[in-house]
Amino acid sequence: MTDVQAMPRVSLVIMSYNQDAYIADAIAGAIAQDYANLEIIVTDDGSSDGTPQIIAEWASRHPGKITPVLSAVNSGISKNCNRGLARCSGEFVSFVGGDDVLLPSKISEQVAWFQVCPDAVLCGHRVDILIDGVVVKADAAYTNFGRGAGPEQFISEGMQLHGASLMARASAMPSFGFDESIPMGSDLMFCIDVLSGGGQYGFVDQVLANYRIHGGNISTQNIDTLLKDYEQTYLQAARRYPRLNHMCQSAITRHVHYYGAVKKLSAGDVMAAKAGLRKAIARNPLYARAWVRLAQAFLKGRS
């Protein structure tokens, strides 16, 4: 048995859509990994720019290493992820967006972490931010990392591991992969499903990827769609895991209605903010923070 064969196989899924300015960097980062037993699946969601051609060119230069999965139609992030997952054969599966860049030791460091933590099913790491080609240290919004077991903390506090850092144990993943009823922001539901059996999660305390910020990020666009996806996530989790129902209902109040209203208030949309805060208060009349924000919205509306 060779050293490579003795290493756990890892599948890396790169998900792309209209990212011809970035996809080459993402693939190059995957090719540069210092982990040998790695397969790279690049799944494109019907891009209308040059992304599919760039993927095909890289695949032709690295036969047997890169598997292109090119769709003729755009069907959404979750379905695109699942097309990639269908081609995975690894014991571990890692995910990266077509606009992000992996550092060379990302895969090897996470596999080493899993080997030290044999009961773990989900692993993340720190990320830095990439803006206009310049790497900057992440601010508080992008330093998500946590340790624990089970999905409870992901529900009550939100994502505990940055989405651009995730690696999962394949045996813990649901058979359907990402929930396609949540078309855009399905990574939270995926983590809840992976952790539903009580498995452990944690992180490598190193920066192992650069998360690119640009005008096309889903986190900077379509806030209403994302909020709907988060609400669907909590409703789906409550149905799938009834023991988590109370926690999921509280999360809808705080993470969907209240958080969405705060974002709308910051953007100057006072009417939408008021509507969201009223929904939060209707669900929990004792939610003091929502009352305070509602008062602020009324004052802002008068100014």
- Statement: residue 69 has pLDDT above 90: yes
- Statement: residue 202 has pLDDT above 90: yes
Name the residue among 122, 117, 116, 128 with its Cα closest to residue 154: 122
Mean of pLDDT over the chain: 93
Question: Taking the CA of residue 20 as centre, how many other CA atoms within 13 Å lie in the half-sphere pointing to its CB?
Answer: 12
For the four alpha carbons of 48, 215, 207 and 140, in that order, the dihedral sign comes to: negative
Tokens standing for residue 244: 């988590």
Of 5-9, 41-45, 173-177, 278-282, the poorest mean pLDDT is in 5-9
- The residues, ordered by sequence, that sit 6+ positions from 36 with a Cβ below 8 Å of its Cβ are 3, 4, 7
- Statement: residue 75 has pLDDT above 60: yes
300: confidence class by pLDDT, cuts 50, 70, 90: confident
Tokens standing for residue 62: 């690295």
pLDDT at 130: 87
- Statement: residue 221 has pLDDT above 60: no
CA 12 to chain centroid, in Å, comes to 14
Q: What is the mean pLDDT of residues 173-186?
A: 94
pTM reported for the whole predicted model: 0.92
- Statement: residue 220 has pLDDT above 60: no
